[in-house]
Chains A and B, each alone.
Chain A
């Protein structure tokens, strides 16, 4: 009797062991092929940026578990505006980018878990329990497009995924072509992560892509994705603009008052800016276009008079999240 129950349970599964027979197939960022016979109805998404992707695809009803980071800090308000389950804190959060409760993940009976590829031990444990994992590792904007496209395939929203990608590409390219018309000297930008004023990103990073799309140059010439530099180097680079990643505990004034920074052009000319929200400027979502526009207006204020950032933001939210985007503040 027990055997029959177990076998019948398996036959209802969306998973398939023979991937060649799967009608739905994607290759995750580990290069691993994942196949399904039908679209996963129960998805646990432990990556905040990927969760944003599911909301953009209008596939949020498939989500049965989220990252605990959703319930913390700045992003909670925005996700609460998108989903009543998050607002009422009824959507389970079995883990985050770092720690995962395998027991709680299994208890949600997911057809798929979306998590960071770096969480290798947890991935192994979850897969050993027969639950497929779509592992993510983003290093460029091209990776971001691939992620959205794959999530579209997984949830059966391929058309929506294509239109989202197309919209973003059009926005960015329209912006880039408008930049070419303005013949101004390229500004040098120093990007500052919230871990500390000397933590930045080099030329092989998403930050570098962001700076270049905004029509400026990255002050940090090292190729590293994340690097702790010496203040001597920052003084030597002498950036025109400093852009801080969102930090609830710091403001541009704190940076302008840092000892030893006063001779840097960006500080002397009070051109230190902070990205206003981790949710709105998330570089690992299609919202990176808003950060590009912000950066451009900070670098070239006189050439950006015709950019209305408020309407750009509300148009983007409406396009990306649909009607629910209007509720996001």
Chain B
């Protein structure tokens, strides 16, 4: 547990030294820090300026963004799995990914809004539609909610196809790249635009960690424990949607991440949401950062992070699944 909490620190530090630029090598970065801390004479001041630019303007925002996005998707996934009492649930179950993809495609094709804002808004709209469609006589059935999520996903996927059909090759390529999930456009600006909703959602989910355990037992058990299951579920739903919408709006669709990581965490520490919430955030953030380190260094070009998530994350998940219990019931 302590090890898992400390895990992000070395990964965050090492990530600062990893990148495709030969100019910003480990040696140059050490030299830059030496110059910064001890005000030593720099052999090549221009090079150090470039190193500073790469480290501070490019790597650092990307590292922080990767960590926040991974943490948000993971903690949202685990919270939703708890309230839906279903191990197959991910933050995308209520149409978030297809709504966000449609919003991003609209903005990429017609530029009526910034891409991230449009993705964020349409992601929220999709989840709200799923929720409204599922309510019947003021009751919210989980089965109805999942079904309406599937239908809303279908509708937004069809709308996305229409936008793609009407787009020229340049715009179509941008849309496809966006849907692959990537962090190569990470910047302080994107980070500033997304960290508040991400952290707000994560903090609410963290504060709800006790109730998640009660909600995971079922509605009747929750009521006997003095918890209003409908109200609490809505709060969790809103917080998870807020965090994951903000994450998707800046990073695109990182497939299955919010499904796989909560299971990994459960395999490691068990199903208790009291520890699970914070560990999901820390481990989810760190794991995505490691994947992004691969994504930006494995080749001379950017590999979409969603692809790497699948290629590295999925086999690792299958390995854990074979070696240990899935950790849902116990």
Contacts and interface: CB of A to CB of B under 8 A. Distances in A.
B168 A72 contact: yes
Given A69-B168, A230-B296, 5 more contacts: A195-B177, A228-B302, A229-B301, A230-B19, A231-B184
Interface residues of B, number: 34
Nearest to A261: B57
Q: Is the interface of B mostly helix, strand, loop or mixed?
A: helix
A194 B170 contact: yes
Contacts of B58: 230-232, 235, 260
29 contacts: A69-B168, A72-B168, A98-B165, A98-B172, A99-B165, A195-B170, A195-B177, A196-B174, A196-B177, A198-B302, A199-B173, A228-B301, A228-B302, A229-B301, A230-B58, A230-B184, A230-B296, A231-B57, A232-B59, A235-B21, A235-B53, A236-B50, A245-B170, A248-B111, A259-B57, A259-B187, A259-B188, A259-B189, A260-B187
A198 B184 contact: yes
A233 B184 CA distance: 12
A227 B168 CA distance: 19
Contact of A224 (B24, B165, B301): B301
A229 B301 CA distance: 5
Interface of B: 19-24, 49-50, 53-54, 57-59, 61, 111, 165, 168-174, 177, 184-185, 187-190, 296, 300-302
A263 B169 contact: no
Interface in A179-238: 193-199, 222, 224, 227-233, 235-236, 238
Nearest to A198: B184
A69 B167 CA distance: 9
B169 A98 contact: yes
Contacts of A248: 111
Given A222-B301, A233-B21, A228 B177 contact: yes
Nearest to A194: B170
A235 B184 contact: no
B169 A232 contact: no
B20 A232 contact: yes
A29 interface: no
B185 A198 contact: yes
